[in-house]
């Protein structure tokens, strides 16, 4: 198991805590959660952890980086990586997202492939199957046939199950929590023996600045349409824990002046709505009052410019690196 783009394992393995022990048969490892955009990867990870660490929207391709979800029980610690939805990239941001996804696959001990059970497999699913066969041909694969709550009557899953050789399959509903515990129990059996890498009460590897940025981006996605959700980047340029509140300031970057107008809205109505919804979520996560200041700026064609991608926080390697 090795470091990937978005999380680091402690150099000395287990984070020593007073009176913290684990059995000799304790298991730990990385489970890469993959699938085409909008099949329910983030929803499933949130359901497994029992709390929200990844944004969920009805729009595809909203996860842009690997985010680690840490699931700890006495017998195991499972590190779930919520990878960007695997797709053929159309710009430099898309290329970066697929580089991140490929890295997660190579670093994983188990692949959890989520498929949409409510419809027949698509060309994108075939594309993912080919990628898994070429990149990680020897890594165990578990299939999760998601969205079974949308099915009516008898449904034939032969096409889904014929995409790739797999270790086991589960028919689940991430939204309803159906068979979520079953799939986690099985995944643990596939992990190697190993120590606990993170404290038992830690659910993710990201800090609150990252969570704040993702929360704001989620509200932009949910309140806008067409190209706006994919043209937005968030930069947290101020985060201060004060005595009775947390003060957060953020910049919402877009690619066009017209997009800026849409996000600001008539009389500032849209930016006010986005800020109100984001602040309410952050109050729940931080358990304290939150002051949130949002601004909108144009960063022309940032998704196709490596330097601008680095500027807004993506780890794009320089050509001479």
Give the residue, 90 or 139, on which the prediction is more confident. 139
pLDDT of residue 20: 54
* Structure confidence at residue 15 as a pLDDT band (50, 70, 90): very low
Contacts of 317 (CB under 8 A, 6+ apart): none
Asked whether residue 80 is domain-assigned, the answer is: yes
Average confidence (pLDDT) over 215-229: 83
CATH number, domain of 142, equals 3.40.50.300
pLDDT of residue 13: 43
- pLDDT over 70 at 234, yes or no: yes
Q: Let me know the angle formed at the C-alpha of 241 by 72 and 62, rounded to the nearest 5 degrees.
A: 55
Contacts of 283 (CB under 8 A, 6+ apart): 289, 290
Q: What is the Cα–Cα distance from 66 to 285, expressed in whole angstroms?
A: 20
Asked whether residue 4 is domain-assigned, the answer is: no
Residues of the domain holding 64: 27-190
pLDDT of residue 10: 45
Could you give the C-alpha distances from 122 to 16, 102, 116, 239, in angstroms and in order? Answer: 46, 20, 10, 43
Kindly state whether residues 98 and 241 are assigned to the same domain. Answer: no
pLDDT of residue 320: 47
- pLDDT over 60 at 135, yes or no: yes
Q: What is the pLDDT of residues 148-181, one digit of tens each?
A: 998 887 788 999 999 999 999 999 999 999 999 9
pLDDT of residue 316: 55
Torsion angle in degrees (nearest 10) through CA of 87, 90, 93, 95: 60
pLDDT of residue 217: 86
Kindly state whether residues 42 and 118 are assigned to the same domain. Answer: yes
Kindly state whether residues 278 and 175 are assigned to the same domain. Answer: no
Query: In degrees rounded to 5, what are phi and psi of residue 285?
Result: -80, -35
Q: DSSP characters for 149-217?
A: GG--S----HHHHTSS--SEEEE-BTTTTBTHHHHHHHHHHHSPB----S-TT--BS--HHHHHHHHHH
Q: What is the Cα–Cα distance from 27 to 218, expressed in whole angstroms?
A: 34
Q: Select from 162, 190, 218 the last residue of a domain.
A: 190
Kindly state whether residues 173 and 273 are assigned to the same domain. Answer: no
pLDDT of residue 266: 92
* Average pLDDT taken over every residue of the chain: 82
Kindly state whether residues 160 and 232 are assigned to the same domain. Answer: no
Kindly state whether residues 70 and 174 are assigned to the same domain. Answer: yes
Average confidence (pLDDT) over 262-290: 92
pLDDT of residue 305: 72
User: How many percent of the chain have pLDDT more than 90?
Assistant: 41
Q: What is the pLDDT of residues 47-60, one digit of tens each?
A: 998 877 665 554 44
Q: What is the Cα–Cα distance from 214 to 160, expressed in whole angstroms?
A: 32
Query: In degrees rounded to 5, what are phi and psi of residue 104?
Result: -65, -40
Lowest mean pLDDT among 68-82, 145-159, 241-255, 305-319: 305-319
Kindly state whether residues 112 and 216 are assigned to the same domain. Answer: no
pLDDT of residue 275: 95
pLDDT of residue 263: 92
CATH number, domain of 250, equals 3.30.300.20
Average confidence (pLDDT) over 87-106: 68
* Structure confidence at residue 75 as a pLDDT band (50, 70, 90): very high
pLDDT of residue 19: 40
Asked whether residue 222 is domain-assigned, the answer is: yes
Domain count along the chain: 2
Question: How many CB atoms within 10 Å of residue 106?
Answer: 12
């Amino acid at each position: 198991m090795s470091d990937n783009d978005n999380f680091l394992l402690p150099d000395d393995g287990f984070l020593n805590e007073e009176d913290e022990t684990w059995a000799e048969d304790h298991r730990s490892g990385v489970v890469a959660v993959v699938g085409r955009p909008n099949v329910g990867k983030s929803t499933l990870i949130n359901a497994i952890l029992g709390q929200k660490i990844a944004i969920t929207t009805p729009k595809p391709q909203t996860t842009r980086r690997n985010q680690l979800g840490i699931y700890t029980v006495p017998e195991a610690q499972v590190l779930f990586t919520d990878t960007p939805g695997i797709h053929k990239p159309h710009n430099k941001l898309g290329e970066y997202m697929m580089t991140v996804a490929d890295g997660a696959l190579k670093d994983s001990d188990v692949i959890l492939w989520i498929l949409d059970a409510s419809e027949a497999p698509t060309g994108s699913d075939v594309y993912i199957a080919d990628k898994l066969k070429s990149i990680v041909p020897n890594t165990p694969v578990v299939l999760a046939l998601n969205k079974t709550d949308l099915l009516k009557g008898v449904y034939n899953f032969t096409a889904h199950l014929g995409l790739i050789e797999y270790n086991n399959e589960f028919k689940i509903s991430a939204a309803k929590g159906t068979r979520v515990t079953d799939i986690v129990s099985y995944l643990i059996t596939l992990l190697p023996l190993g120590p606990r890498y993170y404290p038992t009460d830690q659910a993710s590897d990201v800090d609150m600045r990252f969570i704040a940025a993702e929360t704001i981006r989620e509200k932009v996605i949910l309140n806008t349409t067409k190209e706006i959700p994919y043209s937005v980047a968030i930069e947290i340029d101020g985060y201060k824990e004060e005595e009775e509140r947390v003060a957060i300031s953020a910049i919402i970057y877009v690619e066009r002046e017209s997009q800026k107008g849409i996000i600001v809205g008539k009389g500032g109505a849209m930016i006010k709505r986005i800020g109100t919804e984001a602040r309410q979520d952050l109050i729940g996560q931080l358990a304290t009052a939150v002051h949130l200041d949002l601004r909108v700026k144009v960063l022309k064609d940032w998704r196709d410019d490596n330097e601008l991608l680095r500027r807004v926080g993506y780890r794009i390697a320089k050509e001479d690196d």
